[in-house]
Structure 1
Amino acid sequence: MAAFLSKCMLDFFIAFGVVLGGTMLAGISSVITLDPPVHRMLTVAEQIKIWAMVAAIGGTIDPIRAIETHFQDGHISPAIQQILYIVCAFVGAHMGTTLIQWICRGGTSG
């Protein structure tokens, strides 16, 4: 159970970090090229979200294959674990995107 939770946390923070880091670097790039960084950062945060999830779960199609194989073999528990890893990565990427949106809008909602 500890290994499962550890992997969930790892996937969450990798996805969160990819969104946060990629977006911040895009903002720095915008400043260097004299473009307004807010619009660029919001766009990049949305576009990079799926890639953050892919990076967090391993960057290949293997987790999806593992789900398929486990279901076909009748082993539900490992398939559910893989699905939860993907969910943790999604939550991390989404929270990173939400944080960037919050920062770019000055902390106000809307």
Structure 2
Amino acid sequence: MSYFLSKAGLDFFIAFGVVMGGAMLAGVGSIFMLLPPATVMLDTALRLKIWAIVAAIGGSIDPVRVIESNISAGHLSPAAQQIAFILFAFLGAHVATELIKLMCKGAV
């Protein structure tokens, strides 16, 4: 399998796991705090979405620097790859958020 597909797949699943795991654990914690789990899970999933993308792409500003430096130098392929990795991470976070919304649909 190519480097691009394996990195894109990992970015998707890392972002998915951050949102899904964070929302599920927030739901468990809300039970101990006597709060409504579905509401806490939905709120947590929405708030974690951007952080899941950041975590999936490396947790720093380096991917943005790669995009900027490659576009400035006229190399579009590495910049396009970084943008695609960010899009895959967004897709993973979004799918997890929608799944949490679906799971909590009847409870809110």
TM-score for both structures, normalised by structure 1: 0.94
* Counterpart in the other structure of 2:10: 10
Instruction: Tell me, yes or no, if structure 1 residue 48 matches structure 2 residue 35.
Output: no
CA drift of 1:64 comes to 0.3
* Superposed structure 1 runs of 4+ greater than 2 Å apart: none
CA drift of 1:54 comes to 0.2
* Counterpart in the other structure of 1:84: 84
Give the Cα separation in 1 of the matches to 2:39 and 2:94: 18
Give the Cα separation in 2 of the matches to 1:48 and 1:103: 17
- Structure 2 unpaired stretches of 5+: none
Give a deviation string over 1:39-68, Cα, whole Å, max 9, x none: 111100100000000000000000000000
* Counterpart in the other structure of 1:72: 72
- Identical aligned pairs, as a percentage? 59
SS of the residue corresponding to residue 14 of structure 2 reads: helix
Choose 97-106 or 16-25, whichever is displaced more. Answer: 97-106
TM-score for both structures, normalised by structure 2: 0.96
Instruction: Tell me, yes or no, if structure 1 residue 28 matches structure 2 residue 28.
Output: yes
CA drift of 1:97 comes to 0.2
* Counterpart in the other structure of 1:94: 94
Matched residues, number: 106
Give the Cα separation in 1 of the matches to 2:65 and 2:39: 37
CA drift of 1:33 comes to 1.1
Give a deviation string over 1:10-30, Cα, whole Å, max 9, x none: 000000000000000000000
